[in-house]
Every structure is written in C-alpha cells, then in structure tokens.
Structure 1
Amino acid sequence: MALHRIFRAVIMGPPGSGKGTVSGRIGKSFGLKHISSGDILRANINAKTELGLLMKSCIDQGRLAPDDIMSRLILSDLRALDQSAWLLDGFPRTVDQAESLDEAYRLDTVINLDVPFQTIQQRLTSRWTHLPSGRVYNIDFNPPKVPGLDDVTGEPLVQRDDDTPETVTRRLKAYETQTEPVLEFYRSKGVLQTFSGTETNKIWPHVEAFLHSKLPSGGQKRA
C-alpha cells in the first residue's frame, strides 16, 4: 500500500461562523486533531513558559502579540505533534504568521467558512450567559425557559461585552481587515477552499464531501 503524507489543514472564519462545531465534526469524522491557538496560548500562560510570559505581558498591556512570538509559540506545539494529522484553528492571523507556518509545514488545505456578517451578528447578539456556570443560551434556538433567567438556578443572565452589537460589529470588521490578506495568500497557493452559507448544518455536508475527496478512506493514513 502506498504511503501517504500526514494530512494538515487550517480552518478559518470570523467569530461566530461555526468554526468550533465544524472543527469538532472534522475531528470526529476524519481523525484530525483539532488544535486551537487560543488553547495553546492559555496553556502557556498558565504554565508560565518563557513564551507564555511574553504573551501575557502583551495582553496585560492591551497589545497584540508580535507575529514572531505567536509563530514560535504555535510552531513549538506543532513540532510535538509531528506524527499527527491536525486541523489548526485561530492561526495564522497575519501574512507573516502564514509565511512562518508555510516554511515549517506544507498544508493540504485551508477551509474558509464564509458566513454573512448579518447572520453572525444575529447569532452572537442573541447569546446570553449565566456567568457562574458558563451556561450559554441563544434566544433564537436555545432560549431559557424563563426569559432572562438561568434554567438551573433561576439567576439572571447577562450579555457578555463581546456579544453586544457594537462589539460584534467591531470584531467582524477587524477580522475582515486582518484576514483578507491571509486568505489571498492561501488563494495564491491554490489551497484555499471556501464554503459559504448561513447554517452550519447546511455547510457541513459540503465540507465533509470535500474532505472525503482529499482523504478517500474517510480517515488519516500516516506517513
């Protein structure tokens, strides 16, 4: 049987586009390890690693982490997974980061979830949270039994600052400005695959069919 190179992919999409749900399904269906840059960042900060302390210093000062530090942080974790097939989420966010990743690994595909901003805005601004437990409700499809109150404790729900209409609009515009050059970078390399739609359950079958064409066995063959 022919040997196959280990499959590596990146998933991109604005906050609220369903990346978490799609990534989970890809992991389950195709055996790709879902790697979240946010999880790596938090783990390094909690472990007080050298890079984690550098990142925490940037965050505490309200600055974005420099590309080289972010790239070193992510690539260091990826090197520990050299025999694994993975799906990277949340990185790269700039062309410099994309170039650093490109030097270290050849990507098989970049999955881009293209969901209209209006749809995302509605999704995110409909979210209400019970802060003590972290339970999240959505007025449109997962409302609390009593409006404004947590199902379990009856305590009031709040809307996170991240989910207010003004913040959501600002985050989406920032994502678009920052990410378009990265999408163009991958488009020029011929690895960008965009999936458009307003519902994750309708986008998913297209993502699944595409990955089946890339991984005909429906799973990952190791190198």
Structure 2
Amino acid sequence: MMRIIMLGAPGSGKGTQTQLLSKYFYIPFISAGEILRQESKKNEKTKKYIKETINQGKLVKNSFIINLIKKKIKKKNCFDKFILDGFPRTIKQAESLKKHIKMHFVIHLKISTDNILDRITGRLIHEPSGRTYHKKFNPPKKKNIDDLTGELLSKRKDDKKKIIITRLKEYKKLTKPLIKWFKMEDLKKNIKYIEINANKSIHKINKKIILCIH
C-alpha cells in the first residue's frame, strides 16, 4: 500500500514529481485541481460555486472536495495506491481526509522564492491532462507541443510575477501550520513526513524522493 500526499508551493515542481513517481511506481495520481476543473464542467451551479470560491481566494468546502476525491479513487480502482496532488491545503482538510482515508507518506518539496519565480514564469501546461513542462528545465520534445497528444501547450493566466508573489504569501500562511500538523502526525506514527530540497534538478529531486520512500 502506498498512498502519498505531494506538498509544495506553486512552482516547486510538485506536478512534475507527481507524474514521475506515478510512472516509476505504476500508481495513478489524483489532482485536486483537475478534479475541480472536471467537476465545474458538469453543470452551471457547480461551475459557479467553484469559480466564485477560487476567485475569492478561498477553498471549496472540505466535504465537497473529499467526496470528489473518494469518488475518483473508487472510479480509478486505486484505493491501495495513489498519489494525491493539491490536497490537503489546511489542517481542517487534513483532519477531514484522515477520517476517511489513511495516507502513508507526505512529500514536502521545499524551494526558495527566487527559484519559484524562475520556474513558474517559464512553465507550460497541457490543459486537458494537467501535464506540465518548462521552457528551460523540462522542455517538451517539440517547442510548445505536448509530447503525448501533439496538442499546443499554453501558459496559465496566473503565472505572472505579481500574482505568483500573492499566491506564495497565501500558500505560506496556510501551509506553515499544516506542516507542523504533519510533523506531529509523523511523531505519532500516523504518517511518514519527508522533506525534500527542491532547489536541485528534477532528476536529483526524483531520485531522493524514491530513496526516501523505499
């Protein structure tokens, strides 16, 4: 059994490492952001709730996202093994998750603000799948083209320096107490908390994560 939470600031390489670990261990990954994007397409009421909540800088209700994650796990038939990306983001969310699903590892990618700004401003995404690339550090095989589908890559609208700095401040405010909570859970043997220096290359980071999990 291998249930992993990926934790890291925007631009820490969380999405890239999630994809690499998924391929290495042959386990599916569940992106909270992607779940919300897909859910918002189902009906106007849900779309309005998700959009308004995110635009206000708030988080959707714990019960709402937990139920979506549980459905996704069941649908993918991956209850024993999966990687959770983008959730939990607060202690309340972590406690809510703990009530329903026992997680085994928390991988926390620590990175400097300068490196985050450098990484995000060069980031490219394949919107339908959530795959991420970087012009400098992780470029696609063909310029601005997704490796698997051949579709055009794009930049996220919020990948601008001013917006990034605001997002980082909000992330730190929410995540600092969450990290303390995970460390306490580690002491209680409820989960294994692993801190990784994410200022290094993608390959070195990935190798370190795999060694720590093994």
Secondary structure of 1:46 counterpart = coil
Task: Report whether the alignment pairs 1:114 with 2:110.
Answer: yes
Distance 1:92 1:53, change over 3 A: farther
Aligned pairs (5 A) from 1:85-124? 85-124=81-120
Task: Report whether the alignment pairs 1:180 with 2:181.
Answer: no
Distance 1:34 1:82, change over 3 A: closer
Secondary structure of 2:88 counterpart = coil
Task: Report whether the alignment pairs 1:59 with 2:51.
Answer: yes
Task: Report whether the alignment pairs 1:193 with 2:194.
Answer: yes
Unmatched tracts of structure 1, length 5 or more: 1-5, 144-148, 152-157, 213-223
| Residue 150 of structure 1, CA deviation | 7.2
Secondary structure of 2:15 counterpart = helix
Contact 1:36 1:89 in 2 (8 A): yes
Letter in 2 for 1:118: D
Question: Cα RMSD over matched residues?
Answer: 3.3
Give the alignment partner of residue 159 of structure 2, picking from 155, 159, 163: 163
Task: Report whether the alignment pairs 1:211 with 2:207.
Answer: no
Q: Which moves more between the two structures, 67-76 or 172-181?
A: 67-76
| Residue 203 of structure 1, CA deviation | 1.3
Unmatched tracts of structure 2, length 5 or more: 146-153, 187-191
| Residue 106 of structure 1, CA deviation | 1.5
Name 1:8's counterpart in structure 2.
3
| Residue 7 of structure 1, CA deviation | 1.9
User: Counterparts of 2:103 and 2:110 in 1: how far apart (Å)?
Assistant: 20
TM-score (norm 2): 0.75
TM-score (norm 1): 0.73
Task: Report whether the alignment pairs 1:74 with 2:75.
Answer: no
Contact 1:161 1:167 in 2 (8 A): no
User: Counterparts of 1:93 and 1:72 in 2: how far apart (Å)?
Assistant: 16
The C-alpha deviation readout for 1:106-148, integer Å capped at 9, x for no partner, is 111111111111101111124479x9xxx976367759xxxxx
Task: Report whether the alignment pairs 1:26 with 2:21.
Answer: yes
Letter in 1 for 2:90: T
Distance 1:137 1:114, change over 3 A: closer
Letter in 2 for 1:56: K
Distance 1:184 1:171, change over 3 A: same
Aligned residues: 193
Q: Percent identity between the aligned chains?
A: 28
Letter in 1 for 2:118: Q
The C-alpha deviation readout for 1:8-30, integer Å capped at 9, x for no partner, is 11111111111121111111111
Distance 1:137 1:103, change over 3 A: closer
The C-alpha deviation readout for 1:141-166, integer Å capped at 9, x for no partner, is 759xxxxx979xxxxxx975422211
